[in-house]
Amino acid sequence: MAVETADSPRKINLLRIAHVYYTHKNIEKARQFLEAFGFQETLHIDDKTYYRGTGREPFVYCAIEGSEDKFGGAAFVVENAEDLDFASKTLPNATPVHELREEPGGGYRVTFQDPIDGFAFHLVHAQAPAAAQSSAHEKIKFNFPNEKTRPGNEFQRFEKGPALIHKLGHFGMCVTSFADTYDFYTTRFNFTPSDLVSDESGNDVTTFLHLDRGLELVDHHCFFFFEGPVAHVHHSSYETYDFDTQLLGHDYLREKGYESCWGVGRHVMGSQIFDYWFDPSQFILEHYVDGDLVNSNNKLIRSKASPKISTFGDPICLPNFFSSSSGVAKDLG
Domains of the chain: 14-131+162-316 (3.10.180.10)
Residue % of the chain over a pLDDT of 70: 88
Is pLDDT of 309 > 90? no
Mean pLDDT on 296-311: 75
Q: Which of 262, 271, 192 is nearest to 224 (CA)?
A: 192
pLDDT in tens, 180-195: 999 999 999 999 999 9
Residue % of the chain over a pLDDT of 90: 77
**Residue 48 or residue 1, greater confidence:** 48
Is pLDDT of 176 > 70? yes
Residue 145 DSSP label: T
Mean pLDDT on 111-129: 98
Question: Any residues with CB less than 8 A from the CB of 145 and at least 6 apart, and which?
Answer: none
Coil vs helix vs strand at 193: strand
Coil vs helix vs strand at 188: helix
Q: Which of 227, 219, 232 is nearest to 192 (CA)?
A: 219
Answer for the pair 292, 204: CB distance below 8 angstroms, yes or no. no
Is pLDDT of 136 > 70? no
pLDDT in tens, 255-288: 999 999 998 999 888 889 999 999 999 999 999 9
Q: Quick one: pLDDT at residue 7? A: 59
Mean pLDDT on 4-22: 85
Is pLDDT of 218 > 60? yes
pTM above 0.85, yes or no: yes
Strand 98-99, strand 108-113: pairing: antiparallel
Q: Quick one: pLDDT at residue 214? A: 97
Coil vs helix vs strand at 255: helix
pLDDT band at 67 (very low <50, low <70, confident <90, very high): very high
Mean pLDDT on 32-36: 98
**Residue 199 or residue 46, greater confidence:** 46
